[in-house]
């Protein structure tokens, strides 16, 4: 149960706090990150969440593990958690079994990171941030550009969020919870250690196969990770775009002796230059969004087209959740 909560990320509030506190640290190059510092952040996440009420013996067994890393790796690529299963639990949780749990954790961590990144995009572009922007109150031309590029951004965000939300629901409930329920039944029915080991092996195999981590799913898993990379690329671009918009707003605003209803007024001398810079930025944003959207659509079409070919029957539920209106099926057939 402890492994399910922490290595399989079932303790939702703990996972959210952990993402929040380690996120900035994990964006740094892997060779600059201190495992001891991460261990401290892990303890912070435990104390900030309901995990603090868990058995102290369990919490002491949860450790930060930094995997081997090469040049160019950042903290996100190498961070993981491990559970110290001591005698007699190591009879069930052998080294090979814990390696399997590590593989599942790394997959779930990638998924949670993508979900966390999309949440960050939403916080940046939520309506009250947009409506307060001076560009939204400007003349027809620049306002039209501003609204158009934000609409593109919102549409792409919604598509990505639809995919991640439904895929995450499938993994957390259709895969992890269903597999756990069946394993619990087999644990109760086990007559000896062999039955227990067999039930646990089936439990792990079920998670691996249904999560697309099996050897027969390597192709579609590559597509899935390509989708994850594009979503993270979108987050990275969005951060830069909105930071640049904010900088332009600050440069274009100044204090005036005659107060207006707004906190500041556009400096007349620099207004024209600011509008020109903003127009160039919005044009570049639109081009980048079109490029990201094209890559995302191609990868998503490829992913969805491979789902019916997978062996596990439960993946049909995932296909239905992602394409319940058959929109992607129709688009693909028309190409």
pLDDT for position 131 = 56
The total number of structural domains in the chain stands at 2
pLDDT tens across 235-291, in order? Answer: 999 988 888 877 777 766 554 333 444 434 444 446 677 778 888 888 999 999 999
142 occurs within a structural domain: yes
Higher pLDDT, 113 or 247: 113
Q: Which residues contact 113 (CB under 8 A, 6 or more apart)?
A: 19, 76, 228, 232
Inter-axis angle of helices 218-252 and 95-125, nearest 10: 30
Q: Residues 181, 263: one domain? A: yes
Residue 90 inside a domain? The answer is no
Whether residue 47 is found in the same domain as residue 121: no
- Residue 141, phi-psi category: left (phi > 0), alpha (psi -120 to 50), beta (remainder): alpha
Q: Which residue has the higher pLDDT, 307 or 22?
A: 22
Q: Left (φ > 0), alpha (ψ -120 to 50) or beta: where does 33 sit? A: beta
Q: Average of pLDDT values for 101-115?
A: 95
> What pLDDT sits at residue 144?
82
Domain assignment present for 89: no
Indicate whether 27 and 59 sit together in one domain.
yes
58 domain residue, yes or no: yes
The residue out of 84, 104, 130 marking a domain boundary is: 84
Domain boundary among 84, 111, 134: 84
The C-alpha angle with vertex 296 and arms to 77 and 311, in degrees rounded to 5, equals 75
Residue 31 lies in a domain: yes
Q: In percent, how much of the chain has pLDDT > 90?
A: 57
> Could you say which DSSP state residue 74 is in?
B
Quick one: angle between helices 140-169 and 315-322, nearest 10? 160
Are 73 and 180 in a shared domain?
Answer: no
pLDDT number for residue 31: 87
Q: DSSP 3-state assignment of 127?
A: helix
Residues forming a β-bridge with 265: 254
Residues 254 and 326 occupy one common structural domain = yes
- 221 with 269, same domain? yes
* 57 and 121 part of one domain: no
Q: Are residues 164 and 235 in the same domain?
A: yes
The mean pLDDT value for 305-311 works out to 82
Q: Are 303 and 220 in contact (CB under 8 A)?
A: yes
Residue pair 26/45 in contact (Cβ under 8 Å)? The answer is: no
Q: Is the pLDDT of residue 130 over 70?
A: no
Which range of residues forms the domain containing residue 195? 96-333
- β-sheet bridge partners, residue 29: 74
Mean pLDDT for 293-312 is 88
The residue out of 84, 108, 134 marking a domain boundary is: 84
Query: What is the C-alpha separation between 114 and 167, in angstroms, rounded?
Result: 11
pLDDT of residue 132: 58
Establish if 91 belongs to a structural domain. no
Instruction: Please tell me the predicted confidence (pLDDT) of residue 252.
Output: 60
Question: Are 44 and 110 in a shared domain?
Answer: no
In a domain, 206, yes or no: yes
Q: What is the pLDDT of residue 264?
A: 42
Same domain, 5 and 142: no
Residues 100, 80: one domain? no
Top pLDDT among 314 and 283 is at 283
83: confidence class by pLDDT, cuts 50, 70, 90: very high
Neighbouring CB atoms inside 10 A of 78's CB total 19
Same domain, 62 and 100: no
Look up tokens 């029957």; give the residue: 313
In a domain, 216, yes or no: yes
Task: Give Cβ neighbours of residue 118 (< 8 Å, ≥ 6 apart).
Answer: 157, 160, 161, 164, 231, 235
pLDDT in tens, 139-167: 667 778 888 888 899 999 999 999 999 99
């Amino acid at each position: 149960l402890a492994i399910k909560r922490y290595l399989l990320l079932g303790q939702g509030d703990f996972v959210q706090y952990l993402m929040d506190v380690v996120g900035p640290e994990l964006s740094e190059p892997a060779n600059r990150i201190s495992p001891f510092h991460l261990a401290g952040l892990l303890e912070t996440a435990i104390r900030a969440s309901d995990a603090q009420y868990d058995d102290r013996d369990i919490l002491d067994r949860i450790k930060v593990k930094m995997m081997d890393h090469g040049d160019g790796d950042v903290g996100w690529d190498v961070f993981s958690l491990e559970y110290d299963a001591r005698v007699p639990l190591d009879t069930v949780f052998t080294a090979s079994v814990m390696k399997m749990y590590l593989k599942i954790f790394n997959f779930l961590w990638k998924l949670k990171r993508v979900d966390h990144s999309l949440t960050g995009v939403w916080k940046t572009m939520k309506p009250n941030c947009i409506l307060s922007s001076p560009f939204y109150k400007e003349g027809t031309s620049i306002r039209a550009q501003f609204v158009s590029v934000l609409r593109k951004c919102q549409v792409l965000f919604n598509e990505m969020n639809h995919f991640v939300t439904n895929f995450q629901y499938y993994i957390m409930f259709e895969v992890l919870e269903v597999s756990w329920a069946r394993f619990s039944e087999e644990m109760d029915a086990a007559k000896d250690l062999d039955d227990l080991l067999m039930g646990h092996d089936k439990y792990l195999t079920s998670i691996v196969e249904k999560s697309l981590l099996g050897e027969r799913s390597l192709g579609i898993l590559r597509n899935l990770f390509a989708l994850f990379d594009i979503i993270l690329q979108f987050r990275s671009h969005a951060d830069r775009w909105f930071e640049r918009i904010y900088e332009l707003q600050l440069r274009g605003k100044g204090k005036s002796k005659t107060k207006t209803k707004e906190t500041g007024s556009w400096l007349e001398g620099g207004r024209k230059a600011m509008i020109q810079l903003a127009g160039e930025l919005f044009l570049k944003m639109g081009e980048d969004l079109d490029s990201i959207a094209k890559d995302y659509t191609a990868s998503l079409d490829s992913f969805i087209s491979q789902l019916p070919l997978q062996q596990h029957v439960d993946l049909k539920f995932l296909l239905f959740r992602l394409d319940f209106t058959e929109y992607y099926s129709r688009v693909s057939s028309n190409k």
